[in-house]
Structure 1
Amino acid sequence: MTALPLWFEITSIVVLCLILAADLLLALKRPHVPKPAEAAIWIGFYSALAVIFALLLFWMGDSEHAGQFLAGWLTEYSLSIDNLFVFIVIMARFAVPVRYQQEALMVGILIALVLRAVFIVVGAGLIDNFSWIFYLFGAFLLYTAYTQAFGHPEHEGDEDSGFVRFARKHLRVHDEFNGAKLRITVDGKRLFTPMILVILALGTTDLLFALDSIPAIFGITTSPFLVFAANVFALMGLRQLYFLLGHLVQRLVYLKYGIAAILVFIGVKLVFHALHQNEVPFINGGHPVEWAPEIGTWASLGFIALAMLVATMASLTKMWVDRRSASAREASGPEVGSARRVGEHESTRQENAFGEADAGGERSH
């Protein structure tokens, strides 16, 4: 694989950071809830930038660079979409008014970027010095895939982390929001607003997400530059995607299985890679395992895209079938309406983040 010029890597990182900074300033200067058309345009814009960047990588390097970036970007983007569900839960639990959610999300995204940058540096150092770390990464991803598919992600974000509980206990927090401000003066006393708890909750959640996403993308490429670029592009447009999809994210019921399949695939790929470069004494005497296959970048890209496409289409099909069934039941008699409301109770539990939070978001926490 042809090495990329250093000036290109540095320039790319600077430009990407400037784009994120501009997005942050835009959110702070024009705090509003993006309409679906506006959100879709921004998401399309950032996705187009990712494709253009892949073409630049192909031009400056080769197809391997472009393929690794695209596979890494799709992996991180799929994990970021899954993260939106927990963001929705957090916003609903703290009853953040919709008009203030944009600023909170942007701060959360910046925290995620910083944490992932730290993990990228640490992960790259571990890989350079300990090839057996791929065994640990692979095992961790397989465990994460199991919890993703068979755990209870609907309860994620329902309870405060230890860090947030500590903050609640030791910080003087006012009952009401005051825009996106973190401090407020009441009767001459300086108090924190509930926004500080929201940011702390998003930040600690980002930490857990980084633990999943970084090993996953290192299973696709070991280039720290490509890993960082894929993460930045995955975070771009995440704020707009939050408002575009809204509570629809939690109704993509098969999304978690698509993500789990991707994590299993990358986990197995990491184990094969570790066997191929084996240096562990009790595995084949510390010699490389010749039969261990190396899964190519384009095969990885194809599997990742297929897994997300199948999961999304299956979820949308289920939504369509459920709606048709509900309409048929309603037409058959009034008693069905009650059963339908009971069945939909859990799926609509988090919709307050986009409706009731705006009307009742000033209540005490």
Structure 2
Amino acid sequence: MESIGTPGLYLAFFAMVAVMLIIDFIGFKHKEDQPVKIRSAAYWSIAWVSVSMLFAGGLWLYLQQTAGVALANQKTMEYFAGYLLEKSLAIDNVFVWLMIFAAFAIPPALQRKVLLYGVLGAIVLRTIFIFIGAWFVQEFSWVLYIFGAFLVYTGFKFLKGHEENPNIEDMALLKWLRKHIRITPQLDGHKFFVRQNGVLWATPLFLVLILVEASDVIFAVDSIPAIFAVTSDPFIVLTANLMAILGLRAMFFLLAGAASKMHYLPYGLGIILLFIGFKMLMLDVFHMPIWISLGFIVIVLAITTWLSIRYNKQQE
């Protein structure tokens, strides 16, 4: 499997991610007990998107100088397509996280801490999943057809619509955790664990963190195969995925109040997944240029966003 990734590029990228996480963590510590304001979330969202765009620009310049304009254009478009795809699919995470926080009555100030560690865990887990996925694709090319079939199935599920208000208490993982872990009945500030009479207990905040991580693993099962349909380059898959995840916490607080208003977005995501799934299934028949995939994703997201805005105005 051909990749532009070199040890130096991977090292530089992970160093950049580490610096960004440190900045985010320091900012969190300074305002640990304060809920995130919409304006602050908007500024952070703009900052994360700007960093992602700057990374794309830096990648293009590097490739233009080392490999030529054609490859630079190709890989940059692959990055943008993957980034948009991951960013749009991540919006579904917002819906699930909102339900989890509501089920456990987690106040906004504590949501910040859960999502900080949740995003950190997602970065680690997705990095592992991506490298495993890249190895499977390289060793067993037929895996792409399984990915394609799965994405078609997932796309149809999106088009059918989500279950209305699923009960978090029915989750098998939650039942297992409550059966095997000592859990306090109430929150204890920012603590994930407390000692009572010398015995270590987990707080409900720890349960929420596990559920947040588990939800991201579930969504990764959709998103990682999808991005492999956009590009088979592990470096592009990794960078687009992680850059989208880095801004996920800010996006959550920005969209928390508006998530329910994105009425047509799930249908748009379903159409995109169907498109990508069929694209993977037709790899041996037709090679689709990356600009078509990128354009299709942009157009579908734009149309579904416009339809959602129009729908909300009609409901007012």
Kindly state the Cα deviation for residue 176 of structure 1 after the two structures are TM-superposed: 1.6
Kindly state the Cα deviation for residue 187 of structure 1 after the two structures are TM-superposed: 5.0
Q: Contact 2:36–2:108 at 8 Å: present in 1 too?
A: no
Match of 1:74 in 2: 84
Match of 2:67 in 1: none
Kindly state the Cα deviation for residue 8 of structure 1 after the two structures are TM-superposed: 2.7
1:227-285 Cα shifts (integer Å, max 9, x gaps): 11111111122111111121310221101011111111111111111xx2xxxxxxxxx
Match of 2:56 in 1: 54
Kindly state the Cα deviation for residue 5 of structure 1 after the two structures are TM-superposed: 5.0
Q: Contact 2:151–2:226 at 8 Å: present in 1 too?
A: yes
Match of 2:304 in 1: 311
- TM-score, structure 1 as length reference: 0.80
1:26 and 2:19 aligned: no
Rounded Cα–Cα distance in structure 2 between residues aligned with 1:77 and 1:148: 16
1:214-293 matches, within 5 Å, as 214-273=224-283, 276=284, 292-293=285-286
Match of 2:144 in 1: 134
Rounded Cα–Cα distance in structure 2 between residues aligned with 1:112 and 1:153: 25
Q: 1:130 to 1:99 in 2, by over 3 A?
A: same
Kindly state the Cα deviation for residue 188 of structure 1 after the two structures are TM-superposed: 5.0
Match of 1:164 in 2: 174
1:130-174 Cα shifts (integer Å, max 9, x gaps): 111111000000011111121424445634432221111122211
Question: The residue matched to 2:230 in structure 1 has which SS?
Answer: coil
1:266-317 Cα shifts (integer Å, max 9, x gaps): 11111111xx2xxxxxxxxxxxxxxx22111111111111111111111111
Rounded Cα–Cα distance in structure 2 between residues aligned with 1:297 and 1:234: 19
Q: Contact 1:145–1:261 at 8 Å: present in 2 too?
A: yes
1:99-120 Cα shifts (integer Å, max 9, x gaps): 1011011122122222211210
Q: 1:54 to 1:305 in 2, by over 3 A?
A: same
Task: Provide the aligned length of Structure 1 versus Structure 2.
Answer: 306
Q: Contact 1:28–1:103 at 8 Å: present in 2 too?
A: no
Match of 1:113 in 2: 123
Q: Contact 1:269–1:295 at 8 Å: present in 2 too?
A: yes
1:178-212 Cα shifts (integer Å, max 9, x gaps): 22211123455432211111011112111111111
Question: The residue matched to 1:165 in structure 2 has which SS?
Answer: helix
Q: 1:160 to 1:29 in 2, by over 3 A?
A: farther
Rounded Cα–Cα distance in structure 2 between residues aligned with 1:121 and 1:107: 22
Question: The residue matched to 1:17 in structure 2 has which SS?
Answer: helix
* Larger of the two Rg values belongs to structure: 1
Question: The residue matched to 2:183 in structure 1 has which SS?
Answer: coil
Question: The residue matched to 2:256 in structure 1 has which SS?
Answer: helix
Q: Contact 2:230–2:293 at 8 Å: present in 1 too?
A: yes
Q: Contact 1:112–1:210 at 8 Å: present in 2 too?
A: no
Q: Contact 1:112–1:207 at 8 Å: present in 2 too?
A: yes
Unaligned runs of 5+ in 2: 64-71
Rounded Cα–Cα distance in structure 2 between residues aligned with 1:107 and 1:132: 35
Kindly state the Cα deviation for residue 225 of structure 1 after the two structures are TM-superposed: 1.3
Rounded Cα–Cα distance in structure 1 between residues aligned with 2:249 and 2:4: 33
Kindly state the Cα deviation for residue 43 of structure 1 after the two structures are TM-superposed: 0.6
Match of 2:292 in 1: 299
Question: The residue matched to 2:194 in structure 1 has which SS?
Answer: strand
Q: Contact 1:115–1:210 at 8 Å: present in 2 too?
A: no
Match of 2:41 in 1: 39
Rounded Cα–Cα distance in structure 1 between residues aligned with 2:35 and 2:151: 35
Rounded Cα–Cα distance in structure 2 between residues aligned with 1:196 and 1:310: 39
Identity of aligned residues (%): 34
Q: Contact 2:94–2:255 at 8 Å: present in 1 too?
A: no
Q: Contact 1:72–1:217 at 8 Å: present in 2 too?
A: yes
